Each structure stands twice: as structure tokens, then as C-alpha cells.
Amino acid sequence: MKEKVEKALEKIRPMLAADGGNVDLVEVTDDGIVKVKLTGTCGCCPMSQMTLKNGIEKILKEEVPEVKEVVAI
């Protein structure tokens, strides 16, 4: 599943990079929890939680149905 998640993140990264940010995959647990680290401007943006849930999590769940939740660490 980790490979699928990484592939889906590659589709998301250009959108984040347009605003000076990025996302790093930290871990994918056996129960479908994806742990990521928002970097660049995304790491300190007040809207980062919205980006995480309404953007990254939504796309990952569409691309990789096994994903249950995405959390930032």
C-alpha cells in the first residue's frame, strides 16, 4: 500500500509546490493510517489542516481505497 500512497502523493505535490510547500510520507500503518509531514510553507500555514483533510486525505482515499485517515506529524 505504501507504494500506492507514494504514487498518489506525486499527483498532489505539484499543487503544494505552487504555494511553496510539499508533503513527505512518514509511515503507512497496517490499519490504513497515513502519516505525513507537511514541509515548506505548508508546514506553518494556518490553512494546513484544511489542506490535509480536504485535499491530501480526500485524494489519497480516492486513489487508494485502503486509506482510512491521513494525519500530520
**Domains of the chain, first to last:** 2-72 (3.30.300.130)
What is the rounded CA–CA span in Å between residue 13 and residue 39?
11
Sequential pLDDT tens for the chain (73 residues) = 999 999 999 999 999 999 899 999 999 999 999 999 999 988 888 888 899 999 999 999 999 999 999 999 9
Angle at 67 between CA 47 and CA 22, to 5 degrees: 40
Q: What is the pTM of this model?
A: 0.91
DSSP string, 2-70: HHHHHHHHHHHHHHHHTTTEEEEEEEE-TTSEEEEEEEEGGGT-TTHHHIIIIIIIHHHHHH-TT--EE
Residue type, 19: D
